[in-house]
């Protein structure tokens, strides 16, 4: 018999010659019953692959992919804002290990982000990115709004101009305002407006920003005037150039100048010198009488006088010491051009030096200007009441610039105040605006929450590889003992990480469980001490060391290092490590410093707050530290020893060194020296994860996965022999989603479980909701659809959809009945965790619900039970869920059957009809034997299989059967002499 399902092998000589032909032909009984009990949920989850259906075969797998393996209640939303996870709990609780669950975590508004961390190497270059496997705050929600001015403030809200803020991203964050000690808990925030960038934060109603004096920008009463410059008292003279003392000899072919009576060491390399108007740059100074310039003068000089830039201003009737200070600007106006130069030092009331010379001669008797820092007001101003030192005032000429009030003059008859720096330009009778406070918002998740990673040395290859330990909340979830940034290395980090935590494969796309690694290293992979490119949590260089402390100024999170591992010498002793018992981060000093010998002087510094004797002062030029011996004031302190070179005034970047401290009994000086490179390994947290705006859910977020045209779920399970899928969106009881869900299920011969909203509290309304609003059939629905269970988060009860519990029980029943769907109803169909129901049904309600195909949920013998086995249907036969499920299961089975599909392209072959008939009959006999069909009838009466002739235009297979186990009516007659009971089964099937 020729069949489509066969393989032919020929052994022997070429065609035409005798040989052996072997025909391998499949058996006829090749229609395999699907594994029943598959359920699919579209549900908002905290964790899990987004937008892709994926299977979870058990509760433990669910906790791995969507939860916290060490905390079974972690997936639930404490605030009840989403109930999908509650239904999943119910499913696993009732299924008892039976069945398989497919989950779709819907993509929302596109604002969802994955948490990530980028690890740097010793040189500070980013070399490895680790990203949470999927979107959400689960990976790490840390976020911060850096200090930014408050634009509006009401009692419980404030507005800032800050792009990138996401809706409700900062729920639970702490807001603080500059100059205020109170902190405020944020209860909500809007997303940044895409055009204006404005975001509104709402704080708890127990606060009042109005009462606390927090406001947006405020107008200062009255009007104010300001002149950009003010005259310096007296007059000055300042020639552009002055003679260099002594005389000089040079020729026009050489760059060397020989002096006589000169003190060239008073000059400086890089400055200009002049002769006959020709300028050259000093390139070296050998002695007081020898220097070189960049190129020869064009005209030789013999005992001539040369000039240099004049930096000295001479005053007449001036009061430089009181009216100016170092760093102030002097301005000279000539031909409507303003020339400005900075004051270097003030020698006396009549002499000062500049940092650079004026470009023109300023003749004797000239008046010069300086910056005006005083604003005057009219009589309506209330500077004394409305301003205070430190207040920021918006520059009326440049709205994004502010100046700070430094003094308010209340002694003068003229109302005025001074500022720290000049306004951009003059203004007259302007209404000034006082800048508001600055707000800082910090979302700091509790300790040990989210993803974190610690990086250590490779366990097997510590000198050439590194290790990664990934933690989620309090559990270590992934260990990579050896990894490399070399793509050719068998331990390449992307392979080592990404292949070690696979959640699901969808074609070529692979989804991870926890993290996805990306190497950012684009240089050669080297691991020697001098050029180590491996990532670290913290790495640095020892600047000073004592028995228990190791001082450094490197850039890592010292606070996180406490309690973690210190490798004092990873390059010489890679397997030697200590536990860090204490740490303090380095501090960048405010202001500027100068160092002369052991004396440190500061400008705008806070030495008394920053230092104590014994601390280490870091010199940014020599990159070394010296111990502080004495702190004299905020601007002066003394070191124990001098640095190799003094630091000039104005030096920035000086620091107080940080340190790492180890336990008592350890002498770090014996294992570490200044200049050694060390590393620390600690849990570095992922940041920036966001769930999307889950407060503004749209039906589309669910219906996008319920489209018959773009059937992601069907594509994912096609060919997996899952048969009937029972689908639901637990906790979603709206009409739009559910109508689409039922239509989708009907289009695919699946079943959608509908929920009746809790606002419907009687049977008639429930019937109307299903029949009128949904207007559907072929689904399943229970009423009430919601119940109360014990609250995992505290006292009281928690409202949950019963969808998960019911579907789990259905899976359990199916599993215990050899995979066949049976009626899940009756006194034993208990929803064990349900303590109460959203609506209590009366016995009369059950009649209405039953005829409408709505399963009643009621309390019986102390437990909530399913008291109904029907679903909404146009045909009575299929109103029984077990019948309709068997029917749909057959559709899916035949649709995806490999055996039938193999015959698809074999029409008109001899015996094709026989083949199909045998295939179907074999399947039917097995089903009959399994009591799927009415066993009171013989097989030939219970099942009819008829195959019409397959031709080029196609053929038909009619498969009809009489389903079993359907009890339609029960008659009980009770009289004085007789008790008669009878039942009637439906006896038609297609």
Partner 1 sequence: MAQLRQAYLKKKAEPLQIAYPEGWQGAKSGDEFGDEIYISSMPRMLTEDEVSLVQDYLKKLPYPQELALTGCVMVDSEDPLLQMSHTELTALERTEDLPQTHSVQGKGLRSTFDRVLIIREQGHQGTGENYSAQLPKRN
- Long-range contacts at 742-745 (CB < 8 A, ≥ 24 apart): 742/774, 742/776, 742/778, 742/779, 743/706, 743/708, 743/776, 744/706, 744/707, 744/708, 744/711, 745/778, 745/779
What DSSP string runs through 302-318?
A: EEE--EEE--EEEEES-
**What is the closest distance, in whole angstroms, from the C-beta atom of residue 188 to partner 1 in the complex?**
4
Among 97-105, 286-294, 395-403, 732-740, which window interacts with partner 1 (CB under 8 A)? 732-740
**What is the closest distance, in whole angstroms, from the C-beta atom of residue 403 to partner 1 in the complex?**
16
**What is the closest distance, in whole angstroms, from the C-beta atom of residue 784 to partner 1 in the complex?**
9
**What is the closest distance, in whole angstroms, from the C-beta atom of residue 209 to partner 1 in the complex?**
10
430 forms part of the interface with partner 1 (CB under 8 A):
no
The site string for partner 1 over 74-113 (x = CB under 8 A, - otherwise) reads ----xxxxxx------------------------------
With beta carbons less than 8 A apart as the criterion, state whether 328 and 343 touch: yes
Six-digit token pair at 951? 């031709």
Cβ count near 809 (within 10 Å): 27
141 forms part of the interface with partner 1 (CB under 8 A):
no
903 forms part of the interface with partner 1 (CB under 8 A):
no
The site string for partner 1 over 655-674 (x = CB under 8 A, - otherwise) reads --------------------
Q: Is 672 left (phi over 0), alpha (psi -120 to 50) or beta?
A: beta
**What is the closest distance, in whole angstroms, from the C-beta atom of residue 706 to partner 1 in the complex?**
15
Helix ranges (H only) for 259-382 are 320-323
187 forms part of the interface with partner 1 (CB under 8 A):
yes
With beta carbons less than 8 A apart as the criterion, state whether 117 and 684 touch: yes
**CA R_g for the chain:** 42
Our measurement of the distance from residue 698's CA atom to the centroid of its chain's CA atoms, rounded to an integer in Å, reads 23
Cβ count near 873 (within 10 Å): 18
Nearer Cβ to partner 1 (215/598)? 215
192 forms part of the interface with partner 1 (CB under 8 A):
no
**What is the closest distance, in whole angstroms, from the C-beta atom of residue 159 to partner 1 in the complex?**
9
- Residues 767-806 within binding reach of partner 1 (CB under 8 A): 786, 799-801
205 forms part of the interface with partner 1 (CB under 8 A):
yes
Which of 65, 220, 306, 660: binder of partner 1 (CB under 8 A)?
220
Six-digit token pair at 665? 């009994």
Our measurement of the distance from residue 410's CA atom to the centroid of its chain's CA atoms, rounded to an integer in Å, reads 52
**What is the closest distance, in whole angstroms, from the C-beta atom of residue 799 to partner 1 in the complex?**
4
Which of 25, 348, 388, 652: binder of partner 1 (CB under 8 A)?
388
438 forms part of the interface with partner 1 (CB under 8 A):
no
168 forms part of the interface with partner 1 (CB under 8 A):
yes
763 forms part of the interface with partner 1 (CB under 8 A):
no
Helix ranges (H only) for 446-499 are 493-498
**What is the closest distance, in whole angstroms, from the C-beta atom of residue 396 to partner 1 in the complex?**
14
Nearer Cβ to partner 1 (202/889)? 202
179 forms part of the interface with partner 1 (CB under 8 A):
no
Report the alpha-carbon distance of residue 985 to residue 990 in Å, rounded: 15
**What is the closest distance, in whole angstroms, from the C-beta atom of residue 766 to partner 1 in the complex?**
12
**What is the closest distance, in whole angstroms, from the C-beta atom of residue 866 to partner 1 in the complex?**
20
Report the alpha-carbon distance of residue 63 to residue 52 in Å, rounded: 18
Which of 698, 704, 850, 902: binder of partner 1 (CB under 8 A)?
698
585 forms part of the interface with partner 1 (CB under 8 A):
no
338 forms part of the interface with partner 1 (CB under 8 A):
no
- The one-character DSSP state at 446 is P
**What is the closest distance, in whole angstroms, from the C-beta atom of residue 824 to partner 1 in the complex?**
24
User: Is the bond preceding residue 583 a cis peptide, omega within 30 degrees?
Assistant: no
Nearer Cβ to partner 1 (784/808)? 784
Among 118-126, 507-515, 621-629, 751-759, which window interacts with partner 1 (CB under 8 A)? 751-759
Q: What backbone phi and psi angles, to 5 degrees, belong to 566? A: -115, 125
List % helix, strand, coil for the chain (3-state, nearest 5): 15, 40, 45
Nearer Cβ to partner 1 (151/244)? 151
Which of 148, 221, 227, 230: binder of partner 1 (CB under 8 A)?
221
200 forms part of the interface with partner 1 (CB under 8 A):
yes
**What is the closest distance, in whole angstroms, from the C-beta atom of residue 756 to partner 1 in the complex?**
12
Six-digit token pair at 162? 């800050």
157 forms part of the interface with partner 1 (CB under 8 A):
yes
Among 46-54, 268-276, 382-390, 567-575, which window interacts with partner 1 (CB under 8 A)? 382-390
- The one-character DSSP state at 712 is H
What DSSP string runs through 603-632?
A: ES--HHHH--TT-EEEETTTTEEEEEEEEE
With beta carbons less than 8 A apart as the criterion, state whether 930 and 922 touch: no
761 forms part of the interface with partner 1 (CB under 8 A):
yes
Report the alpha-carbon distance of residue 422 to residue 493 in Å, rounded: 55
Q: Terminus-to-terminus CA distance in the chain, angstroms?
A: 30
- The one-character DSSP state at 443 is E
210 forms part of the interface with partner 1 (CB under 8 A):
yes
Nearest Cα to 31, choosing from 902, 824, 904, 989?
Answer: 902
**What is the closest distance, in whole angstroms, from the C-beta atom of residue 168 to partner 1 in the complex?**
6
Question: What is the size of the binding site for partner 1 (CB under 8 A)?
Answer: 57
**What is the closest distance, in whole angstroms, from the C-beta atom of residue 801 to partner 1 in the complex?**
8
**What is the closest distance, in whole angstroms, from the C-beta atom of residue 761 to partner 1 in the complex?**
5
- Residues 822-841 within binding reach of partner 1 (CB under 8 A): 838-839
Six-digit token pair at 110? 């596109």
Strands 38-42 and 725-728 turn out to be parallel
Nearest Cα to 778, choosing from 809, 800, 753, 759?
Answer: 753
Nearer Cβ to partner 1 (801/872)? 801
Which of 695, 790, 949, 988: binder of partner 1 (CB under 8 A)?
695
174 forms part of the interface with partner 1 (CB under 8 A):
no
Which of 537, 605, 733, 873: binder of partner 1 (CB under 8 A)?
733
Report the alpha-carbon distance of residue 50 to residue 44 in Å, rounded: 10
**What is the closest distance, in whole angstroms, from the C-beta atom of residue 838 to partner 1 in the complex?**
6
3 state DSSP class of 763: helix
592 forms part of the interface with partner 1 (CB under 8 A):
no
3 state DSSP class of 825: coil
Q: What backbone phi and psi angles, to 5 degrees, belong to 391? A: -65, 140
- Residues 41-80 within binding reach of partner 1 (CB under 8 A): 78-80
Six-digit token pair at 674? 């200044």
Report the alpha-carbon distance of residue 669 to residue 549 in Å, rounded: 9
- Residues near partner 1, by CB under 8 A: 78-83, 152-157, 168, 171, 187-188, 190, 200, 202, 205, 210, 213, 215-221, 382, 385-386, 388, 434, 694-699, 731-737, 757-759, 761, 786, 799-801, 838-839
């Amino acid at each position: 018999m020729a069949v489509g399902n066969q393989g032919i092998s020929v052994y022997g000589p070429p065609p035409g010659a005798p040989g052996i032909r072997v025909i391998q032909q499949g058996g006829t009984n090749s229609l395999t019953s699907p594994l029943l009990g598959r359920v699919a949920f579209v549900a908002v989850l905290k964790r899990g692959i987004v937008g892709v259906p994926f299977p979870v075969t058990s509760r433990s797998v669910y906790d791995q992919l969507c939860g916290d393996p060490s905390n079974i209640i972690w997936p639930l939303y404490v605030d009840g804002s989403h109930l999908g996870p509650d239904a999943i709990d119910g499913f696993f609780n009732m299924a008892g290990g039976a069945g398989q669950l497919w989950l779709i975590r819907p993509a929302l508004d596109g604002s969802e982000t994955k948490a990530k961390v980028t690890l740097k190497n010793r040189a500070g270059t980013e070399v490895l990115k680790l990203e949470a496997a999927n979107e959400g705050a689960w990976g790490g929600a840390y976020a911060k709004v850096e200090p930014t001015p408050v634009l509006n403030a009401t009692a419980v809200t404030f507005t800032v101009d800050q792009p990138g803020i996401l809706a409700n991203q900062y729920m639970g964050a702490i807001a603080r305002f500059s100059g205020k000690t109170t902190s405020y808990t944020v209860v909500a925030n809007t997303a940044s407006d895409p055009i204006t960038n404005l975001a509104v934060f709402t704080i708890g109603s127990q606060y009042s920003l109005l009462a606390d004096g927090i406001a947006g920008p405020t107008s200062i009463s009255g009007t104010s005037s300001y002149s950009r410059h003010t005259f310096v008292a007296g007059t000055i003279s300042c020639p552009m150039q002055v003679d260099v003392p002594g005389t000089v000899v040079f020729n026009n072919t050489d760059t060397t100048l020989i002096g006589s009576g000169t003190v060239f060491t008073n000059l400086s390399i890089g400055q200009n010198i002049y002769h006959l108007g020709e300028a050259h740059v000093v390139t070296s100074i050998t002695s007081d009488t020898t220097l070189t310039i960049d190129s020869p003068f064009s005209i030789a000089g013999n005992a001539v006088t040369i000039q240099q830039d004049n930096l000295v201003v001479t005053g007449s009737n001036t009061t430089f010491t009181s009216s100016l200070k170092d760093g102030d600007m002097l301005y000279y106006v000539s031909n409507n051009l303003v020339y400005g130069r900075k004051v270097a030092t003030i020698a006396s009331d009549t002499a000062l030096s500049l940092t650079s010379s004026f470009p023109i001669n300023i003749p004797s008797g000239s008046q010069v200007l300086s910056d005006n820092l005083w604003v005057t007001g009219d009589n309506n101003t209330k500077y004394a009441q409305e301003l205070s030192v430190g207040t920021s005032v918006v520059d009326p000429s440049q709205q994004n610039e502010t100046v700070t009030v430094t003094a308010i003059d209340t002694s003068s008859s003229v109302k005025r105040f001074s500022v720290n720096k000049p306004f951009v330009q003059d203004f007259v009778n302007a209404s000034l605006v006082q800048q508001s406070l600055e707000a800082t918002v910090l979302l700091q998740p509790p300790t040990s929450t989210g993803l974190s990673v610690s990086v250590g040395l490779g366990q097997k290859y510590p000198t050439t590889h590194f290790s990664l330990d990934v933690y989620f909340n309090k559990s270590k979830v992934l260990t990579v003992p050896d990894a490399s940034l070399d793509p050719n290395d068998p331990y390449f980090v992307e392979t080592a990480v990404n292949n070690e935590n696979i959640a699901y494969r969808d074609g070529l796309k692979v989804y991870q469980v926890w993290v996805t690694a990306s190497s950012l290293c684009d240089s050669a992979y080297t691991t020697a001490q001098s050029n180590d490119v491996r990532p670290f949590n913290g790495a640095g260089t020892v600047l000073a060391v004592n028995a228990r402390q190791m001082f450094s100024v490197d850039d890592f999170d010292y606070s996180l290092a406490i309690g973690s591992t210190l490798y004092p010498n990873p390059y010489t002793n890679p397997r030697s490590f200590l536990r860090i018992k204490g740490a303090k981060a380095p501090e960048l000093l405010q202001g500027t410093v100068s160092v002369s010998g052991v004396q440190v002087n500061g400008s705008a510094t806070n030495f008394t707050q920053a230092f104590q004797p014994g601390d280490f002062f870091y010199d940014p030029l020599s990159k070394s530290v010296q111990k502080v011996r004495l702190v004299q004031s905020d601007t002066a302190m003394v070191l124990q020893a001098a640095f190799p070179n003094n630091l000039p005034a104005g030096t920035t970047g000086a620091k107080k060194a940080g340190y790492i401290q180890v336990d008592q009994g350890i002498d770090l000086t014996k294992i570490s020296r200044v200049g050694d490179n060390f590393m620390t390994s600690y849990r570095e947290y992922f940041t920036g994860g966001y769930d999307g705006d889950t407060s503004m859910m749209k039906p589309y977020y669910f219906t996008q996965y319920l489209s018959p045209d773009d059937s992601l779920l069907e594509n994912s399970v096609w060919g997996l022999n899952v048969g009937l899928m029972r689908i639901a969106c637990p906790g979603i009881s709206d009409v739009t989603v559910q109508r689409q869900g039922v239509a989708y299920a009907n289009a695919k011969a699946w079943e959608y479980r509908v929920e009746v909203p809790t606002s419907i509290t009687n049977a008639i309304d429930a019937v109307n909701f299903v029949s009128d609003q949904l207007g559907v059939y072929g689904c399943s629905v229970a009423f009430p659809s919601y119940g109360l269970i014990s609250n995992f988060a505290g006292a009281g009860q928690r409202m949950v959809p019963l969808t998960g519990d019911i579907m789990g029980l259905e899976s359990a029943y199916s599993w215990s009945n050899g995979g066949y769907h049976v009626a899940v109803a009756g006194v034993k169909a208990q929803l064990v965790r349900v303590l109460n129901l959203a609506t209590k049904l009366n016995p009369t309600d059950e009649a209405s619900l039953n005829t409408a195909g709505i399963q009643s949920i009621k309390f019986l013998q102390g437990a909530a039970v399913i008291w109904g086995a029907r679903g909404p249907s146009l045909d009575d036969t299929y109103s029984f869920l077990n019948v309709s499920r068997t029917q749909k299961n057959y559709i899916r089975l035949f649709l995806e059957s490999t055996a039938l599909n193999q015959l698809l392209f074999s029409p008109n072959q001899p015996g094709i009809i026989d083949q199909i008939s045998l295939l179907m009959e074999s399947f039917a006999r097995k089903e009959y034997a399994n009591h799927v069909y009415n066993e009171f009838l013989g097989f030939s009466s219970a099942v009819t299989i008829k195959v019409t002739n397959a031709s080029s235009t196609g053929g038909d297979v009619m498969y009809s059967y009489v389903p079993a186990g359907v009890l339609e009516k029960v008659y009980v007659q009770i009289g004085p002499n007789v008790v008669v009971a009878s039942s009637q089964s439906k006896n038609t099937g297609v």
